[in-house]
Amino acid sequence: MLQAFCRLTIVSLILMCSTSAYADETLTYTMQNTTRSAILHAPAATVGHAAPVVIALYGSGDSAAHFQTSIGFDAVADRENFVVVYPDAIDAHWNYGRPVRKMPLLNGQQVDDIGFVRTLIDDFVTRKLVDENRIYVTGFSRGAQLSFTLACALPDKIAAIAPVSGLMTEFQIDDCRPGHPMPIMMVNGTSDDTLLYDGFLSEDYRLLSVPETLEYWRRIDGCSGEDSKSLPRLNDHDRTRVTLFNWTGCKTGAGVRFYRIENGGHRWPRLVESGNDDPIKGARFGGRNGDIETAVEIWDFFKQYQHHQ
């Protein structure tokens, strides 16, 4: 039987006694005969009532702790009074579906990351930590790919998603049954050499292009129009620039938004003055835009939507 429990560190217990601070919790869950974990960041203003929650999924090879420090979501949550959860993957790789041979295994079976996220959500709702109508998912790279899968597999629980530097495969399209419109915001660089803007075909699967992925969700959300604008450049030496696309005329409660990063690589854009760390390092991952704070843009999108049970 699935068991769930949370563990607080001694530091957490000390800080919880303060009226001005609420420490992060390390949550642990027993699934598939192993322990799964996640970091829960709950600002003081969210304690004691059901708050919105953003589930943030990192890219391959990263960790929940590093992703938390590098994407800037905690500061936005502290200011806007919502909860952020940073789950950890098995061997730092998420299972987003097919092809099976490229997905992580646990005790000889496919890792059940859909079940893991479902367990997190159900636990939060049961303990009245979060508003069950305002549960959102974002992710970077492979975490972004899992966010697409979750939108398709858990449409009754998730209100909106925001994949960054991620695309869908044809397998994900074939397996997707969202059942109703799903608000989605995407951020992709045109010079991404990891998950190519134009997609790619391998011997195992086809990765859709950015336009194809957006078109799929435009159809799901029933959007009929589109507008765009160039966002201000904050640094003349930055070779990247941002164009914002919004689809209009969508079904009630739905929306599609896209930040196209011209010359942008496989990166999570952050403001130039934030002195931030990178979720992923190395020149081979391409240019990183400094004109937008992605966490702010994601929350501005998410807060418009809620799921109606």
Q: What is the pLDDT of residues 90-110, one digit of tens each?
A: 999 999 999 888 899 998 899
260 backbone dihedrals φ, ψ, rounded to 5°:
-90, 120
Alpha carbon distance 183, 23 (integer Å): 31
Query: At 128, phi and psi to the nearest 5?
Result: 60, 35
Whole-structure pTM value: 0.90
Distance of alpha carbon 143 from alpha carbon 56, whole angstroms = 8
Span 111-129, average pLDDT? 96
Q: Is the pLDDT of residue 9 over 70?
A: no
Stretch 75-80: mean pLDDT: 97
Does 10 have pLDDT greater than 80?
no
Going by C-alpha positions, the residue among 110, 41, 48 that lies closest to residue 77 is: 41
Residue 308's pLDDT band (cuts 50, 70, 90): low
**Maximum pairwise Cα distance, the chain:** 57
Nearest to 285 by CA among 309, 261, 302: 261
> Mean pLDDT, to the nearest integer, of 288-298?
95
DSSP 162-205: EEES---BHHHHHH----S---EEEEEETT-TTTTTT-EE-SS-
Instruction: Please determine, for residue 197, whether its predicted confidence score (pLDDT) is greater than 70.
Output: yes
> Running DSSP on this structure, what letter comes out for residue 106?
E
Q: Are 93 and 60 in contact (CB under 8 A)?
A: yes
Q: Which residue has the higher pLDDT, 144 or 286?
A: 144
- Chain centroid to CA 263: 22
Query: Quick one: average pLDDT of 267-290?
Result: 67
State residue 8's pLDDT score. 35
Mean pLDDT, all residues of the chain: 89
Nearest to 95 by CA among 54, 60, 134: 60
Q: Do the Cβ atoms of 227 and 248 come closer than 8 Å? A: yes
| Topology classification of domain 3-302 | Rossmann fold (3.40.50)
Please state the domain extents for the chain.
3-302
pLDDT at residue 138 greater than cutoff 60: yes
